[in-house]
A = this chain, B = another copy of it.
Amino acid sequence: MTTLRKETPMRHGKRVGVWLAGARGSVATTVIAGAAALGGGLAPPVGCVTERPGLRELPLPAFDALVFGGHDIVGTPLPKRAEALAEAGVLPGRLLRLVAGELEAADRDVVTAAGPALDGEAAPQAVLAAELAADITAFRKRHDLETVVVVNLSSTEEVPADREEFHTLDGLRRALETEPAVLPASALYAYAAFTAGCSFVDFTPSTGARLPALRELAEQRGLPYTGRDGKTGETLVKSALAPMFVHRALRVRSWSGTNLLGGGDGATLERPEAALSKTESKTRVLDEILGDGVEGTVHIDNVPALGEWKTAWDHISFEGFLGVPMTMQFTWQGCDSALAAPLVLDLVRLMALAVEAGDSGPQEQFGFFFKDPEGSADPSLDAQYRLLVDWAGRVSSP
């Protein structure tokens, strides 16, 4: 792990681009409006981990040094999306006017990409990848940006079947040159990002950069990436609570969860294939902390009535001394976009730093932010936080 060259502190200097796949979704809109609000000193940085002691001392890009752009299949402009979020209580109404300029500016940098283009029904996928990379590069040049962090915020995909071509960069390239549907959209995005010389963050449970061929590409180019599936609710609580049972030697017998989601996320995850990738990343944390043999199912229900809000109920049955059965239950009622947005900002700032520090490949130290992080580090929340802060200490020391 290299250390950061202190002579070029980014906070006061260079501007960093943020290229969002899904740039007009609820999370992206909240990210852009929020960065404007924090950059303008209109709101305190609640939810921003990079503003905590131990991290805020790092030479991170300032909130107002972030420049936003991206792709979306939806044409509704960002100011319009922000109004809907304000109506739903996700954004404070009083902020709307104050950040309207930033939303309009970002919206001008959003390319409305038709669905078919990404699905790649006709042309070989290499053509599409080149177009995506060209969009990102144009954005970088247009704004004279030091670096661009590409973030996947688009809808959860189903898990693709494994292919031989996923395992070597050469194989992958050959397939992309000839076939129209080799990679799922999230992985094509990672490929395009690396091709354009950008770092990549997968905030969704989709494939993203999680293929050997893409890792090879990232390492070849010296680019860092991280993911996947932002840890914003039920799984966050699991990773904080499960270690308690372990440390107290209490035997967890079952851990059952039901997640009620409105919004587009609920609708996407209602499709069993998409739900599969989601529930898999949700259950991983318990298996790793508690071991196998814990009973229980995780449900994800689409409840449009809940709008932008989600509620999780978890029921934990455990045995205490001499086998006495006991129970813990919790409910978590949160606004998904408001939980996700500050973490996206954190990741963008930290990735910019990792790029500057010369880190490349999977960034295990950012596991704190994800349900399904790379690597095999301890998935307990506290251990993940210490890993992050330790990295911060190393990267900032001379």
Contacts and interface: CB of A to CB of B under 8 A. Distances in A.
Given A323-B92, A334-B326, A381-B247, A295 B304 contact: yes
A304 B149 CA distance: 41
Nearest to A320: B338
Contact of A303 (B94, B296, B307): B296
Stoichiometry, as copies per complex, reads 4
A368 to B, nearest CB: 8
Given A236-B244, A260-B256, A305-B295, A47 B327 contact: no
A377 interface: no
Interface residues of A, number: 78
A253 interface: yes
A81 interface: no
A338 B313 contact: no
A93 interface: yes
Q: Is the interface of A mostly helix, strand, loop or mixed?
A: mixed
Interface stretch (A48-56, A57-65, A119-127): A48-56
B249 A51 contact: yes
A315 interface: yes
A32 to B, nearest CB: 12
Interface string A251-284: 1011010101000000000000000000000000
A241 interface: yes
A91 B89 CA distance: 12
A46 B334 contact: no
Contacts of A92: 322-323
A248 B260 contact: no
A247 B325 CA distance: 30
Interface in A295-344: 295-297, 299, 301, 303-307, 311, 313, 315, 317, 319-335, 338-339, 341-342
Given A89-B89, A241-B240, A315-B260, A250 B47 contact: yes
A385 interface: yes
A382 interface: yes
B330 A326 contact: no
A237 interface: yes
Interface of A: 30, 33-34, 37, 43, 45-49, 51-52, 87, 89-95, 236-237, 240-241, 243-244, 246-251, 253-254, 256, 258, 260, 295-297, 299, 301, 303-307, 311, 313, 315, 317, 319-335, 338-339, 341-342, 368, 380-383, 385
Given A46-B251, A305-B317, A327-B331, 16 more contacts: A30-B321, A43-B322, A48-B321, A87-B94, A92-B323, A95-B322, A240-B243, A258-B258, A297-B299, A297-B301, A320-B339, A326-B334, A326-B335, A326-B338, A327-B333, A329-B330
12 contacts: A43-B322, A46-B321, A91-B322, A92-B322, A92-B323, A247-B385, A254-B260, A313-B329, A320-B334, A321-B342, A326-B338, A328-B333
